[in-house]
Chains A and B, each alone.
Chain A
Amino acid sequence: MKCCRFVVALLVALFVVQGAVAQKRTKTVVQTDSTTVVTTVRVVPNFAPKHDFRIGVGSLSLTTLFALDGGWNIDDYYYDFRQDMERADTYLTPRTFVGNYSLSYTYHDRRWLQYGGTVTFGASTRWRKDAVTGQKIENLSRYALAVMPSVRFVWFYREKVQLYSSISLGLVTDFDEAYVWGDMTLVGCSFGRKVFGFVELGGGMAGSARIGLGYRFDAGKNSKK
């Protein structure tokens, strides 16, 4: 499991790196009799609306910790004798956080504005097992699913690099109850044009720190500035 996560991390990192070094600039050199003027011209194409699909994975955040830690009740700390005997032939595996995963779609309506929706899923796993046979007896895993509309504000826009912040608010369920909660990206950075990698720092249902891959393509509408 850890090897797979390592490989995925490397793949995303490679996209980030190739995006970071792939900025194109044009340089124009004009020579006169007495001076040499160097002018660097950045080509800024017209903006065209795009569809943006992303898949990402995030670390634990305070929000997901509350949703996935198994909760607390007095039975966790006080058992009567019968409860002790009923559980005596079993043992608990560690509760392990396996990640927050997200799928999102946004529509780039303007250079500075994107909107769409995000689905996140987080999980922690734990089992009660038989002390003699090792068989699983009870599934104590916790899951959290969130479906949230989201808005993204791009405050630095280039064809291959974008810096942005976003906010999402929607419904979250741990399959026992549902409540309204959200997610926020304080700083996000995407590298790449069509296929890109992204890194985000924030908080909420997608995790405190997220990485991922995405694909965007023109929406086919008239370009805007």
Chain B
Amino acid sequence: MRKYISIFLVVALVALFMATACQLESGTEPNPNKANQLLWRRVETALNGQYEHAQMVAWLNDYMQGVNWGETYKPIDVSENEGVYTFSYSMSGDYYATTYRINTGGKKLNEGGEWVAYVKYGAYMEFAKIGVVKGVVGENTKFSIECEVSHQTPHYNALQSEVEYWFNATEELYEFTYTTCKGISTDAENATDSMEYIIEFEATEPLVYTDKTLWSGKIDILYKDNMAGTERNVTAEIERRFVTFYN
């Protein structure tokens, strides 16, 4: 009996001792591109926000020209009062409703109109100014949009883009091309030299956003950490959802 107990103890001891080297927390994977990816995500958030604004402006521009974008892209609750258009893609009163207000001044973009655009995220927020939209005279589908500080989307402070777009009403597809695009992003209201960090980006070739795909193009991203006194420069080349970084 003692022998069997001893054998049992031997097996239990060895198993116990082997198990004592255990992992308390898992580690993380080395990723040499992680800093570049963090920078790109901030830039992409800014671009996606700019794209949303450009899409609203483009819809209104075509709406005023009589171009029908179809039911898929048609906003609900469209109202107009003395040249001020208000529309939303969600029910009025919805907690997360996004509502746009564009003051056209009664002029279309291709008539040299200068629109002021506002956006409100959520039923209980106030309208925040997106920026000024200026048309290219004689060209229905071109405009420039200069965004200022948006209190509700803190990831970018200033973004300028010249947009060219087309909408295929038959297939209900659209394509936006930012012929020029540059921006500046911090987490603060106003970008100044004293800010903790500044992310500047500029498209080195036209950026294309196609329906159901994402950006294509090349962007230079400069990151300045003013507290640490460092800078980081990377070029992001985007082809649909794949981003390649060049240092």
Partner of A20, one of B2, B27, B197: B2
CA distance A70 to B18 in the complex (A): 23
Which residues of chain B are within 8 angstroms of A131 by Cβ–Cβ distance?
30-32, 34
Cβ of B197 and Cβ of A82 under 8 Å apart? yes
Q: How far is the CA of A84 from the CA of B31 in the complex (A)?
A: 13
CA separation between A94 and B225, bound complex, in Å?
30
Q: Which residue of A lies closest to B230 (CB)?
A: A85
Q: Which residues of B sit under 8 angstroms from A93, Cβ to Cβ? A: 27
State how many angstroms separate the Cβ of B5 from the closest Cβ of chain A.
7
Give every chain A residue within 8 A of B31 (Cβ-Cβ).
88, 91, 131
Contact with B along A80-114 (1 / 0, CB 8 A): 11101110110111111111000000000000000
- B24, A124: Cβ atoms closer than 8 Å: yes
Which one, B2, B16, B25, contacts A126 given CB within 8 A? B25
Give the distance in Å from the alpha carbon of A8 to the alpha carbon of B16 in the complex.
12
Q: Which of B7-15, B104-112, B156-164, B235-243 faces chain A?
A: B7-15
**B residues 218-247 with Cβ under 8 Å of A?**
223, 225, 227-228, 232
Tell me, yes or no, whether A169 is within 8 Å of chain B by CB: no
Q: How far is the CB of A134 from chain B (nearest CB, A)?
A: 7
Residue B42, interface by CB 8 Å: yes
The complex places the Cα of A142 from the Cα of B24 at a distance, in Å, of: 12
How many A-B Cβ pairs are below 8 Å? 128
In the complex the two chains form, what is the Cα distance from A65 to B24 in whole Å? 8
A82 near B25: Cβ-Cβ < 8 Å: no
* Contact B26–A94 (Cβ < 8 Å): yes
B29 touches A99 (CB 8 A): no
Asked if B81 is at the interface of the complex by the 8 Å CB criterion, the answer is no
Residues of A in contact, count (CB < 8 Å): 49
Chain A residues near B18: list those with CB within 8 A.
2, 5-6, 9
Within 8 Å CB of A84, what residues of B?
38
Among A16, A82, A91, A211, which residue has its beta carbon within 8 angstroms of that of B16?
A: A211
Q: Can you list 23 contacts pairing A with B, beta carbon distance less than 8 Å?
A: A1-B21, A5-B18, A9-B13, A9-B16, A16-B13, A17-B6, A57-B20, A59-B17, A60-B22, A85-B39, A85-B232, A86-B228, A88-B38, A92-B27, A92-B28, A94-B27, A96-B22, A97-B20, A99-B21, A126-B25, A131-B31, A199-B9, A211-B16
Q: Which 6 A-B pairs have the closest CB atoms?
A: A88-B35, A9-B17, A95-B25, A131-B30, A94-B27, A13-B10
Name A residues whose Cβ lies closer than 8 Å to a Cβ of B: 1-2, 5-6, 8-10, 12-13, 16-17, 20-21, 23, 57-60, 65, 68-70, 80-82, 84-86, 88-89, 91-99, 124, 126, 129, 131-132, 134, 199, 207, 209, 211
